[in-house]
Structure 1
Amino acid sequence: MLAFGGVLSLFQDDETSTAEAKPKPSATESAKKETKPEGKPSAPAKGGGIPSPDPAQRAKLISALSAVDPGLTAKEDRAVSRARDVCLDIKEGKDAATVQTNTKMRFDGIGPSVTYDQAADIVSAVKSSFCG
């Protein structure tokens, strides 16, 4: 019976359906409506505007992060990427407490658990190495 109805619908002319058809929202419109999950640091856009350390600054940053805790630099590229995000927070003028909290959350996942005091030391390392 369902197949019979489908066949009949093929032969029906429905001129009003094209005149009243409403466009569906595109996938890009949905993607533009991003939400920030609670308990996560804001994720800055990669690329434009985020200072990137040159090789000498990178070496200084890695050394300073290792002094805070050697586990923070087990994955150097990840540590540098997170340090760039910290720098962006600083450059955007976020208050010190927010920068420190975001830093703690960013670096907690790449090695040992990071304390708030260590997060402050990480912020200092970022500032002194390439984000001054």
Structure 2
Amino acid sequence: MNGKKKALLIAGGVLVVAAIANAGNGDDTDTPTKAKPAVKVSTSPKAKPSEAPAPIKFDEPNAAEEKQLLSKLHAINPGITVNEERAVRRSVNTCQEMQAGNSMKSIVTNTSARFTGGDATVDERQAAEVVKAVKDTFCG
């Protein structure tokens, strides 16, 4: 056998071995292949971390403001200051509503409901006074 024939036999053998090895790879050309879904590329610019809105920090009264607040709340309705810690916590909730930009009508209605219970019933007139006391003492 001459060199050319030998080279052709070796090359043919390599192709047969390659075809056999590739037969188990699931690359069946008789079956149509499904197209992979396209990757979605966003063209909108991403916000830079420095452009993210700052979290809202709600005011809380310091010791002097708390004392002044409790005095004003007691004058409005003594029942709402029986539990001073609860009265301050509810005042902070009222402040949160104001800082969130809720309507005054909504704030007054919610304040009335928030402070009513236990030892007190707070009507809308008193609730409006509570809102003013909160605003004047620490939530300005």
Say whether 1:66 aligns with 2:38. Answer: no
Q: C-alpha distance in 2, partners of 1:50/1:79? A: 16
Normalising by structure 1, report the TM-score: 0.62
* Greater CA drift, 101-110 or 115-124: 101-110
Cα distance in 2 for residues equivalent to 1:50 and 1:106? 18
Determine if contact 1:52/1:130 at 8 Å carries over to the other structure: yes
Report the aligned-residue RMSD.
Answer: 1.1
Tell me which residue corresponds to 1:91. 99
Secondary structure at 1:128's aligned position in 2?
A: helix
TM-score, L = length of structure 2:
0.59
Contact 1:58/1:80, CA 8 A, preserved across alignment: yes
Task: Determine the structure 2 residue equivalent to 1:115.
Answer: 123
Higher relative contact order (CA 8 A, sep 6+): 1
User: Once superposed, which parts of structure 1, at least 4 consecutive aligned residues long, lie more than 6 Å away?
Assistant: none
Identity level (%): 39
How many aligned positions are there? 85
Query: Which of these two proteins has the greater Rg computed from alpha carbons?
Result: 2
For structure 2, the 5+ residue unaligned runs are: 1-55
State the shift of 1:50 in Å. Answer: 2.3
Counterpart CA distance in 2 for 1:110 and 1:61 is: 19
